[in-house]
Amino acid sequence: MGFLCLFDRSAPPRYANSMSSRVIGDLGKSVRVVIDQGGYAFHHRVVVEAESAFKAGSRWALEAVEFPVRVGTKDSRIDLLLRHIERPYYLAIECKRVNPALAQWVFFRFPTIAFERSAVERIQADGVMGGGGGTSLAEPFCGRSINDRAYHLGLVIKTDAPGDETGKNREELEKATTQAHLGANGLLERWTGGGAVALPQDHWRYVIPAVFTTATVIASNLDLGASTSLESGTLLGGPIHGQEVGWLFLQSAVSLGIRAGNAVRYQSPDLALALDREMIRTVPIVSAKSIAEFLKNFDPEIGTDPMFPHRR
């Protein structure tokens, strides 16, 4: 028995002419302001830059854009998620277009972070190993040495450029790194704990939070301890030198409220080790004009042995 075809697949949809076909020209300055100052334009331009870098030889491939994550009761999205094509590394990237009036991010080193902390700064990131469907822990791992690019304090400094109408403030750097940490921990949360997406047995994944920004990234070698008056609590006289760099690594403690629920906790009264092992994580801060170079060169070289809770 044959069937009668009641529609022509080659014909345009009937609703095609149900809406007005009036062409709207330039939507005006107000739309441009929302797109630009909201960071939407920069976000998607970064996606294009990452894809171009991959085609040019970068090992970081596009995995997802605006990937939803949750840590506890906090919901967020990873602006851009990149995956290393040869190793189980993921970059959870926060894209931050900054207010031009506050577009200088200046970074300093701390001479001391914790008692007996090694003088050798290394990339510190969380990894998780699949347990064949069981609950897994997010554990801390060390990677390559970053002594020449490791910093501990970032400040937002005013420029001479006119500012945005929305007036974004000096907290944007901290907000950006917090979002990057939240994205990375949300991904770890997805792979660990109850109701998680189980990884294959003995299958490792490592997540590194990162911030790509329109800010000028400036590194300073000022010794805050030696250059400060104890009596007044202010810096001594003299110039404060800085150098613009393409990227650097911010070593910062992750707020407990955005740590993955199954992140490892060391049952030890040693607070210095708790800070070093549980909380300090590395965030690459990358200038927009150096994104392609960073992706071409960045290899965290994370080891396969977790950081154990012991002193040297």
pLDDT of residue 119: 61
Residue 34: the pLDDT is 84
| Block residue for tokens 């109701």 | 195
Longest Cα–Cα distance in the chain: 99
Q: Angle between the 40-55 and 29-37 helix axes, to the nearest 10 degrees?
A: 60
Specify if 97 maps to a domain.
yes
Tokens of 226: 């030696």
The C-alpha torsion from 151 through 156 and 161 to 162, rounded to 10°, is 150
Rounded Cα gap, residues 85 and 65, in angstroms: 17
Strand extents, DSSP E, the chain: 60-71, 74-84, 89-96, 104-108, 122-129, 138-145, 150-151, 153-157, 204-213, 216-219, 243-244, 247-253, 280-287
Structural domain includes residue 235: no
d(Cα 113, Cα 121) in Å, to the nearest integer?
A: 11
Strand ranges (DSSP E) for 158-269?
204-213, 216-219, 243-244, 247-253
Note whether residue 15 is domain-resident.
no
- Which pLDDT score is estimated for 7? 42
Count of structural domains within the chain: 1
**pLDDT for res 9:** 47
- Residue 10, token pair as written in the block: 């080659």
Residue 165 lies in a domain: yes
Range of the domain at 59: 30-227+241-297
> Which tokens sit at 90?
């993921």
87 by Cβ neighbours in 10 Å (0-12 / 13-18 / 19+) ranks as: middle
pTM for the model stands at 0.86
Q: Which amino acid does the sequence have at 234? A: T
Residue 286 phi, psi (nearest 5): -120, 125
Residue 78 lies in a domain: yes
CA gap 7, 4 in Å, rounded? 9
> What is the predicted pLDDT for the residue at 4?
46
Residue 118, C-beta contacts closer than 8 angstroms, at least 6 positions apart: 312
| Structural domain contains residue 6 | no
Average pLDDT per run of 10 along the chain, which is 312 residues long? 47 53 67 83 96 97 95 93 96 95 92 62 86 69 90 90 60 94 92 67 87 97 90 91 96 88 75 83 97 96 77 45
